[in-house]
Amino acid sequence: MLEVGADIIETNTFSGTCIAQADYELQAEEEVRLINRRAAEIAKACCSEYTAKDPSKPRFVAGAIGPTNRTLSVSPSVENPAFRNVTFDEVVAAYHTQIDSLMEGGVDILLVETIFDTLNAKAAIYAIEQYFDSKGVRIPVFVSGTIVDNSGRTLSGQTNEAFWNSVQHARPMALGLNCALGAKDMIEYVENLSKCADTYVFAYPNAGLPNCMGGYDQTGEEMREELRPFLEQGIVNMLGGCCGTTTEHIGEIADLAKGFSPRKVPTVESKMRLSGLEPLNYTPDPSCARKTFLNIGERCNVAGSIMYKKAIVDGDYEKALAIARKQVEQGADVLDINMDDGLIDAVSAMTKFVNLLISEPDVSKVPFMIDSSKFHVVEAGLKCAQGKCIVNSISLKEGEENFKRCAKICKWHGASVVVMAFDENGQAANFEDKVNICQRAFRILVEEVGIPPHDIIFDPNILTVGTGLSEHNNYAVDFIRATREIKRLCPGCKISGGVSNIAFSFRGNEAVRRGFHSSFLHHACNAGMDMGIVNAAQVRADIYEKVDKELLEYVEDVLLNMCDNGTERMLEYAATLEPKCKPTAVVKKGSGGISKAGGGAKEKSWRDDVVSQRISHALVKGIDEFIVKDVEECRVSGEFERPLNIIEGPLMDGMNVVGDLFGAGKMFLPQVIKSARVMKKAVAHLIPFMEEEKRLAALESDSDVQTEASHAGVVVMATVKGDVHDIGKNIVGVVLGCNNFKVIDLGVMVPYETILDAAEEHNADIIGLSGLITPSLDEMVTVGIKMQQRGLKIPLLIGGATTSKMHTAVKISPHYTNSAVIYVLDASRSVPVCQKLMDKESAEDFGQEIREQYNELREEFYTNLEDRKYLSLEKARQKRLVLDFSQPEHAPVVPNFIGTKVIDDFDMMDVIQAIDWNPFFQVWQLRGRYPNRGYPKIFNDETVGEEAKKLFDDAQKMLTKFRENKSLKLVGIVGIYPANSIGDDIVIYSDDASRSEVTHTFYTLRQQAEKDVAGEPYFALSDFIAPADSGVKDYLGMFVCSAGFGLDAVIEECRANHDDYSIIMAEALADRLAEAVAEVLHQRVRKETWGYASDESLSLNDLLKVKYSGIRPAPGYPSQPDHTEKNAMWDLMGVEDKTKVELTESLAMLPAASVSGLYFAGKGSQYFAVGKIGKDQLADYALRKKMDVKECEKWLSNSLNYEPTL
């Protein structure tokens, strides 16, 4: 690297801490010190050699300090988000040893790099500051974060500006980003840092993104060109390379950099910069300080909220979290956290609660104020927070030395500090004492400790007025005067305080108390107060100008000490008020609750707009309440000659807005479906008038009159023969309809003849096929073949859960070459694809691009088939999983029940409680981004959270309706039978005692793809059942359940109301209920019917994470990809006769909202994927099943490692 031009090289110590080295049993201090010292010495020797060769180009060693393999901000336990498997102090100690060793080895720079968790980086910085302080030395520090994906955030959730705010106290010589991304994806975030950081900025990205084998393919020349914009835009001072870069890459970068000037370090405005997951850069507005006032939420302070205190004392941290969340929702800019109470272990409670808050991104997006009168409690909180916090508080009460010690620790943590106006003589109460103490503290902090003025916040003590004691009357005036003077004498400092203290005398009278708060903030902010601990919702509501004028007069007489009898007059006036009224809507006792404020002017409503804008608003917002009225207003207005003109005019204008917003990602699928519902309702109202128009026109003339709106194209859609699943297809249809496509939906189980005939009849521009089960893939191939034979030249779109781009390219596209065959991932992709296909200028080029792309995919597929190695079936069987079923660990449990049992007594509430909501949101294409992926965190996502919550609430309403109306019938059937394995087969016996007669056989498939790990077994499901020749009696269970009976009636009612939204909602919920029934049923089997886990006690979260004993694989899924195995289940249990759940010719279940599978009870059982199988296993399997080889290949076509001959 030095040879080709590197100025700085890193030591090979990325994992050089005892924490990381514990993985290799090298955590002993002498081992860790040796690793770091020798790495530094080797690198230093190389740099010295090259510097000697060319003294004009000195070379430097950066001691690499990696993030460790632990994270301080994220729990390793999903069940316990407050848990950490390492402490801040342990990480600091580990870093301290590494730093000391690197320094001994002679490094020139300390490089804290690849930061995915900012709290780990803060621990490293703390250790560095500790080391510098103890040794009296200081060398340059570089800090480098890593962005894990295109969200622009670290793994622990921080934006890169929030990250800078959190680490800038280290005063790094240089700041940058490395690893994770290639240069092309990194530039945006480096540019952000370049703008906000007043230090040198660097980037050392990977050589592009890793390939599928974890290697890097980007050449040095390619990387050079991707890095060129960094230099052209002047956003960096240094460039380098991380993973995948070699001397070739570094040489190219060094050569590139020669022709450019380094970035000029900007002058960044000095201001208080705080952070949670997001930055909070405070810039006061001198002309209106109240507008920029920072609301510090007070309700997570045990002294400020009885409810919060009770939650902490009771250990109800969920309730405490809810209080925190509500404060942020109501406008808290910073969250105050205080645990000072005799009943609470403050350190433990502070640690646990801050750790929990970190896991709640909707709360931890704001900075925290760590609040305690005990400094060790403050430290406990700081050690848990990755953002830049405020410490509340330190003071001179215990003398200067202790004050400086506490201040230095706050500085090492990077926190801003609140300084209380206390000194060795006590609390400052008057103007002079407040100013003198704060001025003294300011000098010590700035000149001796080195804390920047903008990180110093004074609390000059807000003391209670209106107490009846004359010496208290000027407390508010003294605070306001002192605020102005302190800001003058201590430039750059901030002023804060606990606002609720001011009106403590009037607690219990809401209007008076809040009136005092509003008036005090008005005057204090005008004097320069920057922030305060407040009830955020109240101070936002109680705007000074809106406070009742009579109340305000009484308040300010006391607050500003305007008269000697102000308190007495205030008490008399307060006695006339309803105690719970608001200061902006005062209610006198006996007035019947009528506010003096009276009614204001009516707010403008969207209903006041012109009718075309009302229609557009209704469509965008999905409001169908007024649409018929508005459409009728259009029809009779005389502005539109015909009903068709209304559809093509305001209705389509509105739908175009919907389409544009959806395409831009500003509307989400549930909103689009609601828009479609409004549109259908509007069109349904107009259809009778259009029909009448057509009838009258026919009487007058032989020619037809156009009564159908023009459209963007005709799309014929169908779920293919044998498949009954249509939610995805229905969604695509609605979305296309919203974009002015005419959709002909043929429904489910549609034969190819019907699809092709409909395409010709309707002069289709596009055909769309959908399917969920694997046999549908073959049916899609058949449709493609028949389209080719018929000579159609219509683009064919493929979609559905089991489909893929690779399957489309390999299996379907070669059979239909007359037009484009295109895989469409989801509804959002369907619109641009269809629009491109309908664009005469671009359609041909688009189709050709797809064909070329699919040709490459086919080549890749067949190359991979050739490259992938497979064991023969014989060898795979030799390497099967062998369990000793005679040992207690694997000994089968005799079931409490043997036979078949129908269960139809499911409690709907129990089933609803067992719903896994994540697939529900996936159906609606709502996906939260880290850290808000998954239910319920998706509600916190800033992009989709609000819509996800609305959708969830609508789902709850429909579930309530299902329950109250008994709309859906929940039914299940369970069978448990004597069984043993014989080779790769599982046989079922007619009786448990003799086991002499086999009634049914379940055939299993074995893994054959060669595994990377030596000794790893090659699984088949039969491995989990005791072999017949072992003499051990074993058992096999199975089930079928459904939530689909009654769904058709629900859907027909929705269809009659033109309500696509409710149709899709009902289908999606029925699917979720079916899966939930399967979950409830399996739990009942484990604990009661079979009873092999009778003492199981798992939460819903644990159930959905499959933490129970045993498995329930389903035919047609990875552990057994053959759908024909369902036939044995249906026959053995008599499923159709007993439950009415049927199988189609493609072995899909009817109703579609049904689930089936096998039960394996053994502890050795586990889920796995069979993967691809060879010809030898296919032939063996067909022979065992007595099935024709060609038929067998058809059912397993997706699982073959070869291409069957036609």
DSSP collapsed to 3 states, 716-752? EEEEECCCCCCHHHHHHHHHHHHCCEEEEECCCCECH
Name beta bridge partners: 110.
Answer: 63, 141
From residue 251, alpha-carbon distances to 1, 183, 809 in Å are: 8, 16, 41
CA distance 928 to 935: 9
Closest CA to 1036 of 1072, 993, 1001: 1001
Name beta bridge partners: 419.
Answer: 394, 458
The residues near 1095 (Cβ < 8 Å, ≥ 6 apart) are none
Task: Please answer whether residues 83 and 29 qualify as being in contact, where contact means their C-beta atoms are separated by less than 8 angstroms.
Answer: no
Rounded to 5 degrees, what are φ and ψ at 976? -130, 125
Per the annotation, the verdict on 723 as an active-site residue is yes
Which three-class secondary structure state does DSSP give residue 1159?
Answer: strand
Rounded to 5 degrees, what are φ and ψ at 722? 90, -10
Determine the length of the chain.
1206
From residue 1021, alpha-carbon distances to 886, 1118, 1170 in Å are: 19, 11, 10
SS3 content of the chain, % helix, strand, coil (to 5): 45, 15, 40
CA distance 1043 to 1078: 10
Task: Please answer whether residues 912 and 814 qualify as being in contact, where contact means their C-beta atoms are separated by less than 8 angstroms.
Answer: no
From residue 1126, alpha-carbon distances to 749, 977, 1153 in Å are: 19, 16, 16
Rounded to 5 degrees, what are φ and ψ at 137? -125, 165
Rounded to 5 degrees, what are φ and ψ at 1113? -70, 155
Reading the block at residue 236, the tokens are 């960096």
Q: What crossing angle do the helices spanning 669-700 and 627-636 adopt, rounded to 10°?
A: 30
How deeply is 107 buried, as exposed, middle or buried, from its count of CB atoms within 10 A (0-12, 13-18, 19+)? Answer: buried
- Output Rg (C-alpha) for the chain, integer angstroms: 36
Per the annotation, the verdict on 776 as an active-site residue is yes
From residue 112, alpha-carbon distances to 96, 116, 188, 201, 975 in Å are: 12, 11, 22, 14, 60
The residue from 96, 169, 711, 725 that is catalytic is 725
Question: Which residue type, as a one-letter code, is found at position 403?
Answer: F
CA angle 14, 15, 20 (to 5 degrees): 160
- Work out the end-to-end distance of the chain between its first and last CA atoms, rounded to an integer number of angstroms: 57
Name beta bridge partners: 797.
Answer: 768, 822
CA dihedral 851, 856, 861, 863 (to 10 degrees): 150
The residue from 630, 723, 745, 778 that is catalytic is 723
Task: Please answer whether residues 423 and 468 qualify as being in contact, where contact means their C-beta atoms are separated by less than 8 angstroms.
Answer: no
Per the annotation, the verdict on 1082 as an active-site residue is no
Which three-class secondary structure state does DSSP give residue 1082?
Answer: helix
Please give the DSSP secondary-structure letter assigned to residue 1089. I
Run of H or E including 989: strand 985-989
CA distance 458 to 392: 10
Closest CA to 1158 of 1036, 1071, 984: 1036
The residue from 776, 819, 1119, 1156 that is catalytic is 776
CA distance 818 to 794: 8
Task: Please answer whether residues 937 and 928 qualify as being in contact, where contact means their C-beta atoms are separated by less than 8 angstroms.
Answer: yes
Could you list the active site residues? 723, 725, 776
